[in-house]
């Protein structure tokens, strides 16, 4: 359909009138980024003026940036722990926000081993929905005809709990998929999914995945885009197909649903969808029984134009695997968001993964940027001046600091971003990394202190064998599906006759897993997104060789520290060539949805 030329947008000609409106909104926000930011802060400060938190800093009714910056400290989650705990325990007074906290969003970032609890308010759903509504209008600028088919998206809800005071605590996407915004979304030809709501909303991850895969297979010719939130999720779906295609093909051949799918809502819905299709069953069996799975995505879903999946940040490690399975289809990273706040979107979603930049939308929150100079030394964070959204400088790195409608004030998100350009006056950022993350397979984030504690706890099991861990390092091995943590250990065995056996070292693996944070353990137990932890014992002297290697490449002897995580190929090759034995965790660690504290 030709669109009225008066609707045209500097981003490109919109596909329909609805898109034109969305693109105009992006233009308006990015042109007036500074003014919007000023208004957002003034609005938040005026509305939350009587909250306990803001009153503490005696703003005296001021809503301007200068006063705010001079009086409010920059904080981390730990600083807010007491307030969050009170809200979780049922204190309904306006502590952080004038609007009632409706639920907690459980972040994949952890504090003391448990997911951080992010307070949220009802209207935040509208803000998230608004950002989602901008994604397809942008995508339609680059990929025409997406209204002629469907999206196969693997979307899941996860377990939820209640805090002692009765508030729900669940991941932000679970909250979104269970909201009326999602469940009763109006029909939009550009946003039709093959997965029925009943499958997305089923909390049993096997039944949910099975049904979503089945529906995606039944409509394989209609699928124009295929995705999951993160790359790890899409790879897990491919692995699921590898394991379960015989059952799926049987269902398609017979037109009857696998009895393992017991969810009544799914069964009712599938009764309308699933009809016998012998040709499809034959095709699927022929493709899936081939030894070689290269290009399996494009073989099964031949009309797929792109993969819709985040492959920036820690997910970049999955790019080669996805390229292999999809014959190099483009990967679109459409948005950048968190439990605390949704931040922005990629205005050029078909670019190469290495070139992805996100434009922060100035209406989502008030954003400040803490200059991040890794080698600066000296200046404490207190002395460093934070910069406003429109004042960031091209090429520089910053840590993101947000002030949200729900009551986080000058809160450090922990993400490091680099400015790559501007759209109008709104900067665009490359996601550099999350601070302090050593290992990550799925949404788990393990830092150096957590790894150290896990090694300490596990190495205690070696005491009775007069053995100690002399050095260690780690590696996130994503060549296996699911990926798993590998920990290299160099041991000092004092009595050769009393060496720890394979069984003991396997118990060390499990002990490490027990010590890791709850997001890791949930990935192992509930999501099956992380494989058993592996200890690789290396020959005595290996870590000295590692040091020699680093020094030969220019490291200073005095300042050399053993890297606690490695991923540089020559180092991996050196370590792997010195492995004397390898041991895997024999069981699942403990995990329940309930928090330990
Ligand atoms: P969570 O609090 O569990 O919702 O995780 C939010 C975090 O995930 C962000 O702060 C980022 O570190 C990471 N993240 C979210 N979106 C992206 C993206 N598009 N690219 C890279 N990392 C992302």
| Spatial contact of 347 and 423, defined as CB atoms under 8 Å apart | yes
Instruction: Give me the sign of the Cα torsion angle 53, 58, 59, 60.
Output: positive
CA-closest residue to ligand 1 atom 20: 312
SS3 for 405-428 is CCCCCCEEEEEEEEEEEEECCEEE
Question: Nearest C-alpha to atom 17 of ligand 1 is from which residue?
Answer: 336
pLDDT tens by residue, 52-67: 999 999 999 999 999 9
Ligand 1 pocket member 310 (CB < 6 A): yes
Q: Are 565 and 473 in contact (CB under 8 A)?
A: yes
Cβ of 107 less than 6 Å from ligand 1: yes
Evaluate: CB of 362 within 6 angstroms of ligand 1. Answer: no
Give kind and range of the element (H or E) at residue 322: helix 319-326
C-beta separation of 330 from 307 below 8 A:
yes
- Which atom of ligand 1 is nearest the CA belonging to 414? 10
Residues 359 and 152 sit within 8 Å (Cβ to Cβ) = no
Q: What is the pLDDT of residue 1?
A: 44
Q: Which atom of ligand 1 lies nearest, measured to the CA of 108?
A: 3
Q: Is the CB of 313 under 6 A from ligand 1?
A: yes
**Burial degree of 351 (CB within 10 A; 0-12, 13-18, 19+):** middle
With helix as H, strand as E and coil as C, how does 576-596 read?
Answer: HHCEEEEEECCCCCCCCCCCC
Atom 8, ligand 1: residue with shortest CA distance? 338
Mutate to test the pocket of ligand 1, among 104, 106, 109, 175 (most ligand atoms within 8 A of CB): 109
Between the CA of 336 and the centroid of ligand 1 the distance, in Å, is 6
CB of 337 shorter than 6 A to ligand 1: yes
Residue 195: closest CA among 164, 231, 166, 227: 227
Strand order in the sheet with 467-477: 467-477, 484-493, 534-538, 579-584
Using an 8 Å Cβ cutoff, are 253 and 276 in contact? yes
Which residue's alpha carbon is nearest to atom 13 within ligand 1? Answer: 338
Half-sphere exposure of 161 (CA within 13 A, CB side): 13
- 8 A C-beta contact, residue 242 and residue 293: yes
CA distance 211 to 295: 22
Mutate to test the pocket of ligand 1, among 114, 233, 336 (most ligand atoms within 8 A of CB): 336
Distance, in Å, from the CA atom of 580 to the CA atom of 582, rounded to the nearest integer, reads 7
pTM confidence score: 0.95
Rounded distance from Cα 230 to ligand 1 centre (Å): 10
* Whether 488 contacts 575, CB under 8 Å: yes
Q: What is the DSSP letter of 445?
A: -
C-alpha distances in Å from residue 137, one per residue of 35, 131, 142, 144, 186: 24, 11, 9, 11, 16
pLDDT at position 2: 45
Phi first, then psi: what are they for 513, rounded to 5°?
Answer: -65, -40
Q: Which residue's CA is the nearest one to ligand 1's atom 5? A: 338
Is residue 175 lining ligand 1, measured as CB closer than 6 Å?
no
Which ranges of the chain have pLDDT less than 70?
1-7, 374-383, 597
- Ligand 1: does its nearest atom lie under 6 Å from the Cβ of 338? yes
Position 6 scores a pLDDT of 55
| Index of the ligand 1 atom closest to the CA of residue 172 | 4
339 lines ligand 1 (CB under 6 A): yes
- For atom 19 of ligand 1, the residue with the nearest CA is 336
Beta carbon of 434 within 6 Å of any ligand 1 atom: yes
pLDDT (tens digit per residue) in 447-480 = 999 999 999 999 999 999 999 999 999 999 999 9
Closest residue by Cα to atom 18, ligand 1, is 336
Q: Which helix (H) or strand (E) holds 371?
A: strand 366-371
| Among the listed residues 154, 48, 169, 26, the one whose alpha carbon sits nearest the alpha carbon of residue 102 | 169
> What is 324-358 written as a DSSP string?
HHHTT--EE--EEE-SS-EEEE-SSTTS-GGG--E
Tell me how far the alpha carbon of residue 434 lies from the centroid of ligand 1, in angstroms.
Answer: 8
8 Å CB contact between 449 and 93 = no
**Which tokens in the block code for residue 193?**
């999914």
Q: What residue owns the CA closest to ligand 1's atom 16?
A: 336
Per-residue model confidence (pLDDT) at position 381? 58
Q: Give residue for tokens 């938190």.
A: 53
Q: Using alpha carbons, select from 403, 555, 532, 525 the residue that is nearest to residue 480.
A: 532
């Amino acid at each position: 359909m030709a669109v009225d030329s008066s609707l045209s947008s500097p981003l490109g000609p919109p596909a329909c009138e609805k898109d034109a409106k969305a693109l105009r909104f992006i233009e308006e926000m990015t042109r007036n980024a500074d003014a919007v930011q000023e208004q957002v802060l003034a609005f938040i400060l005026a509305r939350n003026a009587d909250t306990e938190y803001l009153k503490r800093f005696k703003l005296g009714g001021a809503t301007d940036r200068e006063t705010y910056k001079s009086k409010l400290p920059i904080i981390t989650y730990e600083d807010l722990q007491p307030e969050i705990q009170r809200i979780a325990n049922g204190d309904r007074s306006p502590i952080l926000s004038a609007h009632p906290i409706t639920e907690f969003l459980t972040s994949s970032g952890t504090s003391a081993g448990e997911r951080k609890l992010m307070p949220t308010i009802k209207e935040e759903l509208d803000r998230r929905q608004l950002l989602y509504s901008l994604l397809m209008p942008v995508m339609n600028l680059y990929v025409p005809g997406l209204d002629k088919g469907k999206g196969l998206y693997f979307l899941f809800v996860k377990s939820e709990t209640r805090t002692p005071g009765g508030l729900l605590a669940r991941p932000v996407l679970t909250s979104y998929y269970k909201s009326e915004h999602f469940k009763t979304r109006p029909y939009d030809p550009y946003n039709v999914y093959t997965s029925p709501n009943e499958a997305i909303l089923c909390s049993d991850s096997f039944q949910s995945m099975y049904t979503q895969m089945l529906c995606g297979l039944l409509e394989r010719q209609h699928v124009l885009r295929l995705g999951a939130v993160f790359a790890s999720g899409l790879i897990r779906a491919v692995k699921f197909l590898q394991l379960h295609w015989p059952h799926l093909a049987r269902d398609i051949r017979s037109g009857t649903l696998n009895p393992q799918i017991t969810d009544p809502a799914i069964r009712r819905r599938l009764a309308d969808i699933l009809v016998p299709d012998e040709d499809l069953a034959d095709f699927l069996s022929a493709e899936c029984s081939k030894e070689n799975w290269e290009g399996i995505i494009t073989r099964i879903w031949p009309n797929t134009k792109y993969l819709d999946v985040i492959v920036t940040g820690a997910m970049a490690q999955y790019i080669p695997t996805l390229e292999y399975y999809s014959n190099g289809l483009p990967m679109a990273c459409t948005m950048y968001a968190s439990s605390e706040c949704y931040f922005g979107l990629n205005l050029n979603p078909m670019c190469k993964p290495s070139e992805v930049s996100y434009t922060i939308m100035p209406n989502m929150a008030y954003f400040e940027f803490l200059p991040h100079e890794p080698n600066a030394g000296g200046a404490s964070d207190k002395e460093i001046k934070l910069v406003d959204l429109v004042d960031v400088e091209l090429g520089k790195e910053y840590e993101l600091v947000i002030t949200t409608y729900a009551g986080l004030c000058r809160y450090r998100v922990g993400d490091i971003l680099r400015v790559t350009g501007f759209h109008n006056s709104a900067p665009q950022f490359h996601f550099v990394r999350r601070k302090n993350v050593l290992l990550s397979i799925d949404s788990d984030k393990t830092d150096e202190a957590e790894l150290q504690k896990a090694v300490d706890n596990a190495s205690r099991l070696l005491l009775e064998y007069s053995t100690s861990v002399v050095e260690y390092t780690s590696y996130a091995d994503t060549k296996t599906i699911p990926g798993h943590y590998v920990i290299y250990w160099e041991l000092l065995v004092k009595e050769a006759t009393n060496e720890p056996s394979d069984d003991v070292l396997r118990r060390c693996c499990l002990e490490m897993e027990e010590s890791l944070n709850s997001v890791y353990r949930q990935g192992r137990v509930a999501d099956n997104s992380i494989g058993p932890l592996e200890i690789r014992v290396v020959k005595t002297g290996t870590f000295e060789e590692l040091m020699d290697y680093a020094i030969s490449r220019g490291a200073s002897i005095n300042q050399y520290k053993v890297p606690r995580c490695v991923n540089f190929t020559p180092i991996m090759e050196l370590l792997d060539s010195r492995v004397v034995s390898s041991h895997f965790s024999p069981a699942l660690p403990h995990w329940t949805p309930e928090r330990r504290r």
